[in-house]
A and B are shown apart, each in its own frame.
Chain A
Amino acid sequence: MWSLAHIANEIHQWLNNTFNPTWTLIIEMVLAGVAVIGLFAALGLVLVLMERRVAAWIQIRLGPNRVGPLGLLQSMADTLKLIVKEGLTPDGADKVMFNIAPFIAMIVAMLLMAPIAFAKDFQLWDLNIGVLYVTAVSSIMVISILMAGWSSNNKYSLMGAMRSGAQIVSYELSAGLSIMTIIVLTGSLQVSDIIQAQSNGWWIFKGHLPVWISFIIFIIAVTAETNRAPFDLAEAESELTAGFHTEYSGMKFALFFLAEYINVFIVCAIGATLFLGGWMPLHFGSNNAFNNAMDYIPSSVWFFGKTFFLIFLIMWFRWTFPRLRIDQLLNLEWKYLLPISMFNLLLATAMAILGWHF
């Protein structure tokens, strides 16, 4: 009744009854855009607050507790501060590129929202190459970072950008290969198919060793791809002050900051979709009472719950581990993750052909 798909349908029907089909499509597009931007803003606020709370509790601190009840309005106040700050453009910077870079970061993050299934039958665009689309579009992210680093006219920024370029390009390989494992098992690139294939059990449960390995590799690779600690070499603050966004301030900085968190959300959403069954509730074999109880929890809650669990995992990494060095980072990818994930893909393929998974 109150599911997101139902609400979307109601709106669609009402629009169809009121306007002609062309206008309906345009209005629906505008609505989708507004919803995505709204989700962005909400996610930015929630994730920043969540990160600060997680960090504080791990570091035996209290965390933000001054603005609003329990400090819930802290990120609101921070955003307000960033909006009123001046966005400086340094002398000697390539002005056009410098100002465009943060927007590219944001646009990439927005594009990635399209194929994500937020709830049952609630998806912006269920295109038949959904997963491929995500991997392809997410590589554009590196362009914005390189643009920002190069155009800043700052050696710290440039070094951060070069590091990030090497890092994202190499980690995309193992992220891609671990996604391939699931694609091989499912036999489809379409997000809805992948989720449907997990209706009798999530891949992490019925995929055995290959899926576990690829899940671990996926988490490591996406942590690196989103420039999060322990792979935050692009902004390594004790080495490069702030890396590629050293020269950014005000809202331009905020856009980079927001894009980082949105990217974390998206990769976690992809991870939840591929490995943890997206919006699929948790089912145990033929225990009907339990399964029915699980079905009562709305699908959107399942999706967001799984995503936020993965986000927490990534935050947990950040506040536990020291940073890697650039050569170690590349070693890890080329000497460990890539061989393992290639071998793993072979294993998964054999398993898929022989039908060893349930």
Chain B
Amino acid sequence: MFLTDYIKDVTGALKSLATGMKRTLYYFTHHKEIITEQYPDNRATLVMADRFKGEVVMPHDEKNEHRCTGCTACELACPNGTIKVVTKFDITPEGKKKKAIDKLVYHLELCTMCNLCVQACPSDAIKMAQTFEHSVFDRSKLTKILNNPGSKIMEGVE
């Protein structure tokens, strides 16, 4: 019958609206469900995932030695030209010339954190760091030299 259908329509509609309102009221009254992380305030407790790709760094040990041989594998692997390896020739104690890095220039502003350079590196000289606050006021600060000044290649890394 027309009238019963009409009333059924109206009550069904009101019921569906009430279901939704019940759900939002639940969240309105249950503040423990709030999932907001207040980022700059929680810096102390914020832990990034250990694989998070933030920027490329070159780890040095306490003797200021790194593992980079200057093979340019990372430079070749990089799709954006982010890494530039500047090489020089060291004179070994035996008097032979040996290729080594002078500078490993890293352009953070070009990097897409694709991780290809880290995979390409045969001697595990570079890795991804978990930092992510990269903003600076001068873009030239984003061009970094990864090896520390005066650093040397570690013994035994070929």
Contact = CB atoms under 8 A, between A and B. Distances in A.
A229 to B, nearest CB: 13
Contacts of B34: 57, 60-62
Interface in A276-313: none
Interface stretch (B21-29, B53-61, B73-81, B107-115): B21-29
Contacts, number: 34
Nearest to A66: B38
Given A316-B21, A320-B21, A336-B10, A58 B28 contact: yes
A57 B21 contact: no
A66 to B, nearest CB: 9
A321 B31 contact: no
B24 A320 contact: yes
A3 interface: no
B36 A320 contact: no
Interface in B16-60: 17, 20-21, 23-25, 27-28, 31, 33-36, 38
Given A54-B28, A336-B10, A61 B21 contact: no
Interface residues of A, number: 14
Sort chain B's interface into a size bin.
10 to 19
A59 interface: yes
A321 B13 CA distance: 12
Contacts of B38: 62
A74 B10 CA distance: 41
B10 A60 contact: no
B20 A320 contact: yes
A321 B10 contact: no
B83 to A, nearest CB: 40
Nearest to A61: B36
B36 A321 contact: no
Contacts of A320: 17, 20-21, 23-24
Contact of A319 (B17, B24, B33, B35): B24
Given A57-B31, A321-B17, A336-B10, A316 B36 contact: no
Given A60-B27, A60-B36, A61-B34, 6 more contacts: A61-B36, A62-B34, A317-B21, A320-B17, A320-B23, A340-B10
9 contacts: A58-B27, A60-B27, A60-B34, A60-B36, A62-B38, A320-B17, A321-B20, A336-B10, A340-B10
Interface of A: 54, 57-62, 316-317, 319-321, 336, 340
Cβ-closest 4 pairs across A and B? A320-B24, A62-B36, A58-B24, A57-B28
Interface of B: 10, 17, 20-21, 23-25, 27-28, 31, 33-36, 38
